[in-house]
Structure formats: C-alpha cells, structure tokens
Structure 1
Amino acid sequence: MARVTARRAQLFDQLVALFLDEGFAHLTLDEIASRLHCSKSTLYTVAAGKDDLVRAVTVYFFRAATDAVEEAVAAQVDPLAQVTAYLEAVGDQLSKASHQYMEDLAGSSPGRQVYEKNTSIAADRVRELIVRGVAVGAFREVHASFVADAAATTMVRIQQREVYLATGLDDAQAYRELAGLITTGISATVHR
C-alpha cells in the first residue's frame, strides 16, 4: 500500500509540476501520459477524464500550498506578522504557477471552482487572524469583518484575473501588495 501511495504522490507531484510550468488547456490526456512517461490508464486511476484530472491536480496543489502557508503562519507569534506571513506565503505559493497555468485555471470550470473555494477559505482565515489580533490588542480597533470582506473582495478579483488585467500584477505580486496594504491599515502603530 505504501508503494501505491508513494507512486500516486509522485504522479501528482509530476502533474502539478507540468501544469504549473506550462498550463494544461493545450494538453490532451495522451500528451500528459507521454510527458510523464506513464500510461493513459495510469492517469485514469486518479481521474475519469481531463476535467477530473484538472480538478484533482488543482486540489492537490492547493492542499500542499495550504500546508506551506499554515507553516509560515505557525512560525510567527506576533498577530501582525501572522497576517503578513499568511498573505505573503499565499503569494509565494502562487508564484510557482506560470502565467499560462493561471490563465488556464481561470478558463477551466473545474479548476476555477477549486481556486474559488480556496480563495473563500483564505479570506475566512484572514478574517480569523484579524479578529484574533484585534482581540489581543495587536491591531487598532478595526471592524474585522469589514477588513476581511475587503480582503476577500480583492482576493476574488485576484483569482478572477481582474487585478492582473487592471494592474499587470500577477497573483503572487497582488497577494504581496495586499499583505502590505492590510497590515499597514490594521497596525496598532500609527505610520506617518
């Protein structure tokens, strides 16, 4: 069983690397199998078709990214540093994705749904971090739900490629800018 699990994880790692590097819209299942030096039937062990494969690979990518993001947050004690670490780590994880992957993700219903769900989860996590920071006095008294809603709105715009179209910032850069904007706005220290 461990061998099967290890092979499956290796396959997903290869799929994620391929998709993040090149995107996926232009690839057929035959091409993917050829590129990964596996059979098409091996791909069918993880997904019933290309849409399912895109969904499964996107879920796998976001699970690994979430683990890395939460590790970055756990390494911080200060609430402001936690918010910064969270948003910057999201940016770091998204920086692994090529422009083509992000475009393909936006154009793929299964992939977009996974990204939307993860964006919603991330927005909730930002709200949670802000509420906690306000409660312990680390942040100025802000309406945490409003700040989180503003962050969520921006995160959705990032996910939907609207920020890229309006500013030219890729998703990773946009998350880093959002981190700076939010943390400066909620800091208990007045910046002049």
Structure 2
Amino acid sequence: MAPEVRPTGIPDPATVSDFATQRRSDLFDDLLALFLTEGFAHFTLDALVARLHCSKSTLYTLAPSKGELVRAATVRFFRQSTDAVEHAVAQTPSPAAKITAYLSAVGDALAEASPRFLTDLAAFAPAREVYEQNTAIAAQRVKELIDDGVEAGAFRDVHATFAADLAATTMVRIQQGQVRAATGLDDAAAYRELAAILTTGILTAGITA
C-alpha cells in the first residue's frame, strides 16, 4: 500500500495531538506552580485564566470546575513528589541512609509548598484527603524501609511496627499542622528532624548513616 500523502498545509493529526498534550501538561505545571506559591482559595476561575494567559475553555480541559482543578493539581504535586523521593532513595546504599533520604526528600518536596498553599489545602476537604492518603502511603513506605534495615542487621532488633507507628503518628501530626503549632517547625523541617531522630534511635551500635 502506498504511503499517505498529506496535502501541503494540513498538519499531521499525531503532531497536533502531541502539541495539545504538551500544552496541557505545561498548563498544568503552571497552575500547580501558581497554587504552590500563592495558595488557591482566593482564586476565581476568571483570575486563573488571567494569570495563566489561557481561555476558560482551555482551563476546562484540565478539570470541569475549580474544585476539581485544585484536587487534580494536588494529586499532580504529590505524584511528582513521590517520583523525586523514590529517586533519592534509589541513590542511597545503606538502610539508614535510605530512611534519611526518604524523609528528607519528603521534606524537600513539601518545602516547595508555601504556608498559604498548605493552609488552603487543610481547609479544602478534597485536597486535604489527597495529603492524608499520601501521608498514609509514606508511613507504610517508612515501615518497609525499617523492616528492610532490621532484616539486613543495620538496625537494632526493635519492634519495627512500633518504630513505623511512631513515624506514622508524627507524620500525621505534621500533616494536620499539629507539629507546626506545637514547635514552630514547618512541614519540611519537621520531616528532616524526624529523619534524624528516627535513624539515630534504631541504628545498630557502631553503625552510622
């Protein structure tokens, strides 16, 4: 069969589709960056359109309402953060370093979020639920890293479930803003402190991170 010859001036549908997909992804990134910097509660759709230099119909290709935009952007933030965190863990050789890398990378990811964004997130149930779900997943991941360290002999023979529960409880308190209120530490700093305290407490004598 002879190859299709497209008349001059008519774009290839695949090229158009690729461009549209990239444009949508770039717009999503711009939206997320705006939310992370300035929060989202005060924005109207018209204000978002003006700031993002797009049409309202283009914005609707991302989500059908402002609430869905916020939730989708929050999901995107935590998905990107998870990729960065796991990449950091993969680069570290020892069990203790992996826990430090994991919790520190979570802290680094949260450092991108302004206090305004985190305040708005806590007040908006659909976005808050995304944060809660990711906190639960992160707590389970820390338990896995602790179990791996105990099995490898890098950590004291502590009750891994207790250590993980201690980490999970603290992570939930961070997510709920309780640590910030009690200590003044922001979420990012709190995760870094948790990493230092947790690994120091469970290391086998003579082993350092």
- Same fold at TM > 0.5: yes
Q: Kindly indicate whether residue 64 of structure 2 is the aligned counterpart of residue 34 of structure 1.
A: no
Q: Percent identity?
A: 63
Please give the alpha-carbon distance, in whole angstroms, between the structure 1 residues aligned to 2:169 and 2:26: 35
Please give the alpha-carbon distance, in whole angstroms, between the structure 2 residues aligned to 1:48 and 1:153: 35
Deviation per CA, 1:131-164: give whole Å up to 9, x if none: 0000010111111111111111111111111111
Please give the alpha-carbon distance, in whole angstroms, between the structure 2 residues aligned to 1:12 and 1:162: 31
Deviation per CA, 1:167-188: give whole Å up to 9, x if none: 1111000100110111111111
Deviation per CA, 1:65-96: give whole Å up to 9, x if none: 00000000000010000000000000000001
Deviation of residue 114 (structure 1)? 0.5
Deviation per CA, 1:10-44: give whole Å up to 9, x if none: 01110111011000011111111110001111121
SS at match of 1:157: helix
The match for 1:70 is 86
The match for 1:152 is 168
TM-score scaled by structure 2? 0.89
Please give the alpha-carbon distance, in whole angstroms, between the structure 1 residues aligned to 2:192 and 2:91: 18
Instruction: Give the RMSD, CA atoms, in angstroms.
Output: 1.1
Please give the alpha-carbon distance, in whole angstroms, between the structure 1 residues aligned to 2:35 and 2:205: 42
SS at match of 2:54: coil
SS at match of 1:138: coil
The match for 2:109 is 93
Please give the alpha-carbon distance, in whole angstroms, between the structure 2 residues aligned to 1:150 and 1:176: 15
Deviation of residue 4 (structure 1)? 2.1
The match for 2:133 is 117
- How many residue pairs get aligned? The number is 191
Q: Kindly indicate whether residue 156 of structure 2 is the aligned counterpart of residue 137 of structure 1.
A: no
Q: Which runs of 5+ in 2 are unaligned?
A: 1-16
The match for 2:142 is 126
Please give the alpha-carbon distance, in whole angstroms, between the structure 2 residues aligned to 1:144 and 1:41: 51
SS at match of 1:101: helix
TM-score scaled by structure 1? 0.97
Q: Which runs of 5+ in 1 are unaligned?
A: none
The match for 1:25 is 41
Q: Which has the larger radius of gyration?
A: 2
Please give the alpha-carbon distance, in whole angstroms, between the structure 2 residues aligned to 1:183 and 1:81: 8
Q: Kindly indicate whether residue 44 of structure 2 is the aligned counterpart of residue 16 of structure 1.
A: no
Please give the alpha-carbon distance, in whole angstroms, between the structure 1 residues aligned to 2:19 and 2:137: 32
Q: Which segments of structure 1 move beyond 6 Å, counting only runs of 4 or more?
A: none
Deviation of residue 190 (structure 1)? 5.9
